[in-house]
Structure 1
Amino acid sequence: MLRLDQIKLTLDEKESDLQEKILKKLKIAKSDLQSFSIYRKNIDARHHQVSYSYSLDVEVVNENAILQRKIKNVRKLVVEPRSELVGGIVELHTRPIIVGFGPAGMFCALQLARQGYKPRVFERGSQVEKRVKDVETFYQTRTLNEESNIQFGEGGAGTFSDGKLTARTKDYRVQDVYDMFVEHGAPKEIVYDAYPHIGSDILIDVVRSIRKEIIALGGSLHFDSKVEKLIIEDDVCKGIVVNTQEICSDVVVLALGNSSRDSFYRFHKQGLLMESKPFAVGLRIEHTQKAINEALYHKYAMHESLPQASYRLTHNVEGCGVYTFCMCPGGQVVAATSNQGHVVVNGMSNYARDKENANAAILVQVDESDYGEGIFKGIEFQEKLERLAYELAGSTYKAPAQRVSDFLEEHSEGEMIEPSYPLGVTYTNLHRLLPESITYKLQEGIRAFQKKNKAFKNGNALLTGVETRSSCPIRICRKETMESSTIKHVYPIGEGSGYSGGITSSAIDGLKCAEVIITKYTNTNISK
């Protein structure tokens, strides 16, 4: 197998033209080309010229002859062999328990189910069908269900996002995650797209399909089932208590979401070792998608073959990172609180990304120097900002908002961007929301972004607050074996345990945990 990099197509060429590009690149006849597939597809928008750039995996008749010619961007593809997943020998008489059904818990459960371990999943939130209705009820009536919302429920917080599958790791499990998603109805292009996304509308169906496979393989899912405590004897976990019922198991996987604050407090009191970790807070910015397309695609902005443009920007202010996060092309800002009397914003897009506005978080890294020392000081800081955002906007779940030029203390003329936040906004001074040091870093970051992306020069763009839930402010300490540092048989995984960020890395952490369980325990005597 050969890997061909930087095979270019103009915007007017089609993927059916790739075969001719391969023949020309390798200088071979059509009969010498056995097959090819797309490994990666990217958009090259450098130097104000826009084209598609492909990496292709190609099988030919005489591979060695081609390699001897040392053609630029042509190399032999070396596939590292993967070791077979072999079940362990320790007897496991009870079905493994998984607490939480976000990406980490979902992929851990799916892998365990496929290997015959019949996991039992307990999710504090509701099944996705009810969850969608609960979110809509909140939008219509401003009555929040604290256990079924954008943070809690089947699929986790990622279900109400863009379904971005960003992966900044070379882990081979990335491909496994993509393949599993496609098997359950995700778009096939996520396997090779450089910036894959599923879209919230499709992700809902994908999550439902994964649930059905787990059940078909002997697993079970229990929704509206918050774990009240762990059953611990002599620093060994024996199971959980949920809805006052004791459920025993030798394996308890904690796949908590990063908003599971009450669970963090509860399990810490029971002896789970935790530590504070840095995270980020900030605001969400909205531009028109048209402006983003023009800034990144230039004269090609209206070309029908191009997807909606997206960006990722970073800057350093006095040693502190300021960066955009969870950029949602053609999307909307959503009301992402899970607590009454709090306002939290996030972003989401459907697969088509066809709404008028683009949005992204602009975040500032924070640590104990910003909010004080102590395991839960970061959570207290989040809650303080969320309550203040609620109060600043009128205590009705509207979000506080401000024109970018006003936030930068500059002048701007023209129409302000129409906000997409579903519960409405209250225009106010966001300097009153955030600490002075964070406000300053956001200002400096935005000014730096104005030099990198001309859409940011529009002072009429809109800032909405507050974004606090991009990552978890605590970490549940674990060993290299993924087992808790202090309580045996407990396996903290995923974003809420402080070991991942985003759908893909959380899913990978879930797969790793499943592998640890499978290679340690045998499934031959698992009870029904």
Structure 2
Amino acid sequence: MIHQLNVRLPAVAYSDTHAWKRAASVHLGVQEQRIEHIRLLRRSLDARQKKIYVNLRLEVFVDEPFIEKRQDETAYRAVLSAKSVIIIGAGPAGLFAALRLLEAGIKPIILERGKDVRERRRDLAAINKLHRVNPNSNYCFGEGGAGTYSDGKLYTRSDKRGNIIDVLLRFVEFGADTSILVDAHPHIGTNKLPKIIQSMRDKILTLGGEIHFNTCVTELVLHSGKLQGIIAEAVDHSGNFTGITTQYSAEAYILATGHSSRDIFRLLHKHQIAIEPKSFAVGVRVEHPQSLIDRIQYHCNTDKEIEDVRQYLPAASYSLVTQSFDRGVYSFCMCPGGIIAPCATQPYQVVTNGWSPSKRNNPYANSGIVVSVEPDDLRDYQSHGVFAGIALQENLEYTAWRSGGQSQAAPAQRLTDFVLGQFSATLPACSYQPGITSNMLSELLPLNIGKRLQQGFIDFGRKMHGYLTSDAVVVGFETRTSSPVRIPRNEKMQHIDILNLYPCAEGAGYAGGIVSAAIDGRKAAEAIIQLLV
């Protein structure tokens, strides 16, 4: 007989299958030897009290052998001579849209301004070590999009945003660990994502799809309210335009360019294709010793207790939110055991983000701490019209670059000094490889953002005792949390002006992370399939 049950055990049993079996035996009133197999369906930690528990959803096989059900392979179809759809951008939305089109027998043609994952690594090394920014190959642009080298968190948990399990199964199909199907906060890891992305690429190419790297869309061919084609220019190894252009045409076009493709927003605006402002968030990235976050979250009093807990629990994370002067202040993309990364897309910018390897075993914990920005907060940028939010982002990024020494070094301040408005004579060690320089961040930020962040950190210090410490460092600035522009579409996923253009995911303002972007890309593909098949 097969039973499903919920079990609550001390955290030491987080991965202890023998403890699971003992608990199932007691719960079901059967001898342990009658339990032939236990399958983990769901796992989450409860660390709200001093004693930490793990909540498990188990499938228990009693007097019945367990037969591993092989996951049915997705039925992709060869598409070499099929109808085609052009996808602009090879991030999660673009790749998952392409895979969905393959299922329907439609040929995806992906145009990606950046490089493939292997070549992209060299440009990431250059920005970290040489402070050299390739404008078309960096942490934001390139195969896999921003998510490839930005931690690999699989955040979205609401089925209202589409079939999450389907997306997670696709990741497993292409090489992700099956633990992402059961953990409450699944995470692939920046070190593992590139290989998964490459497997997706191989599948697309093997079946007759196309992927063109170093190919940046620069112009639209419009006629009678319809997109007739797009013109793309080849980009050289350094990210410079070569003057070599190609026109591509297809039945439909999926726009999946991500939140940092500001040139695409301006291209649409030039052609009077509707875009509109939306709320977003900006702020800083804060980094603590991971041992401190472990101590706070796992209620440890000594280093020995932390060491013992970490034998069976992952690096601790946190999620914080408060209201500060009528605006939300919250943690964003929290990276346990992680690294702060330089995510500029132009040489005169400094942009921060964070990532973690799959083991989350680096000595620091970092998180974006950001303030919600509404259109009313952008009065100083009203002359920029629909691009007011982008103007704020660009101003902060340029200010950080200039104050950090006109390099990829980032302005920084001890957390306690930032809250008190004091200069930091010294700075703690930091994972940000290009380096940090002491600056008065509160003077570099707009007053309404700086004050809200300061109050937010005070509130967070009350919620997590020990969080507000001089051992933490605040690094500027976190500006790319989401797009400040939305590309409007109708209920059929079509742009309201250009009906064969399908804007989707983060760049269009409809997603916020790997999973939600993948879901939205699939939805765009499905809308096209309904018309073409």
| Aligned residue type for 1:39 | L
Instruction: Kindly indicate whether the alpha-carbon contact (under 8 Å) linking 1:412 and 1:460 is maintained by their aligned counterparts in 2.
Output: no
Q: Which residue of 2 aligns with 1:314?
A: 321
- Structure 1 distance, partners of 2:424, 2:488, is 51
Q: CA deviation at 1:330?
A: 1.0
Asked if residue 266 in structure 1 is aligned to residue 267 in structure 2, the reply is yes
Q: How does 1:383-398 map to 2 (within 5 A)?
A: 383-398=394-409
Asked if residue 429 in structure 1 is aligned to residue 440 in structure 2, the reply is yes
- Structure 2 distance, partners of 1:239, 1:32, is 65
Q: CA deviation at 1:118?
A: 2.0
Q: CA deviation at 1:456?
A: 1.2
Instruction: Kindly indicate whether the alpha-carbon contact (under 8 Å) linking 1:124 and 1:225 is maintained by their aligned counterparts in 2.
Output: yes
Instruction: Kindly indicate whether the alpha-carbon contact (under 8 Å) linking 2:127 and 2:408 is maintained by their aligned counterparts in 1.
Output: no
Change (3 A) 1:59 1:43: same
- Structure 2 distance, partners of 1:183, 1:19, is 29
**SS state at 1:240 partner:** strand
Q: How does 1:457-496 map to 2 (within 5 A)?
A: 457-496=468-507
Aligned counterpart in structure 1 of residue 174 of structure 2, from 178, 184, 187: 184
Structure 1 residue runs without a partner (length 5+) = 63-83, 523-528
Q: How does 1:71-150 map to 2 (within 5 A)?
A: 94-150=83-139
| Aligned residue type for 2:111 | F
CA-atom RMSD, angstroms?
2.5
Q: Which residue of 1 aligns with 2:360?
A: 353
- Structure 2 distance, partners of 1:415, 1:250, is 59
- Structure 2 distance, partners of 1:456, 1:3, is 39
- Structure 1 distance, partners of 2:274, 2:26, is 60
Q: Which residue of 2 aligns with 1:363?
A: 370
Change (3 A) 1:60 1:520: farther
Judge which range, 511-520 or 22-31, deviates more: 22-31
- Structure 2 distance, partners of 1:2, 1:472, is 46
- Structure 2 distance, partners of 1:416, 1:268, is 43
Instruction: Kindly indicate whether the alpha-carbon contact (under 8 Å) linking 1:163 and 1:203 is maintained by their aligned counterparts in 2.
Output: yes
List per-residue Cα deviations over 1:401-446 (Å, max 9, x = no partner).
Answer: 0111111117899985312111111101001211111111101110
Q: Which residue of 2 aligns with 1:301?
A: 306
Instruction: Kindly indicate whether the alpha-carbon contact (under 8 Å) linking 2:11 and 2:313 is maintained by their aligned counterparts in 1.
Output: no
**SS state at 2:157 partner:** coil
Q: CA deviation at 1:462?
A: 0.3
List per-residue Cα deviations over 1:445-502 (Å, max 9, x = no partner).
Answer: 1001101112313123100001100100000000011010110110001101100001
Q: CA deviation at 1:339?
A: 1.2
- Structure 2 distance, partners of 1:145, 1:249, is 30
Asked if residue 513 in structure 1 is aligned to residue 515 in structure 2, the reply is no
Structure 2 residue runs without a partner (length 5+) = 65-73, 234-244
List per-residue Cα deviations over 1:350-399 (Å, max 9, x = no partner).
Answer: 11111111100100000111213531110011001111111111112210
Q: CA deviation at 1:32?
A: 7.7
**SS state at 1:346 partner:** strand
**SS state at 1:130 partner:** helix
Q: CA deviation at 1:9?
A: 4.6
Judge which range, 201-210 or 44-53, deviates more: 44-53
- Structure 2 distance, partners of 1:442, 1:2, is 49
Q: Which residue of 1 aligns with 2:58?
A: 56
| Aligned residue type for 2:174 | H
Q: Which residue of 1 aligns with 2:228?
A: 238
Q: Which residue of 1 aligns with 2:238?
A: none
Change (3 A) 1:27 1:214: same
Instruction: Kindly indicate whether the alpha-carbon contact (under 8 Å) linking 2:289 and 2:471 is maintained by their aligned counterparts in 1.
Output: no
- Structure 2 distance, partners of 1:278, 1:2, is 47
Aligned counterpart in structure 2 of residue 170 of structure 1, from 155, 159, 166: 159
- Structure 2 distance, partners of 1:140, 1:459, is 27
Q: CA deviation at 1:24?
A: 2.1
Q: Report the TM-score when normalising by structure 2.
A: 0.88
Q: Which residue of 2 aligns with 1:403?
A: 414
Aligned counterpart in structure 1 of residue 24 of structure 2, from 19, 22, 25: 22
Q: CA deviation at 1:39?
A: 2.1
- Structure 1 distance, partners of 2:271, 2:3, is 55
Q: Report the TM-score when normalising by structure 1.
A: 0.89
Q: CA deviation at 1:51?
A: 2.3
Q: Which residue of 2 aligns with 1:208?
A: 198
Instruction: Kindly indicate whether the alpha-carbon contact (under 8 Å) linking 2:413 and 2:423 is maintained by their aligned counterparts in 1.
Output: no
- Structure 2 distance, partners of 1:238, 1:176, is 33
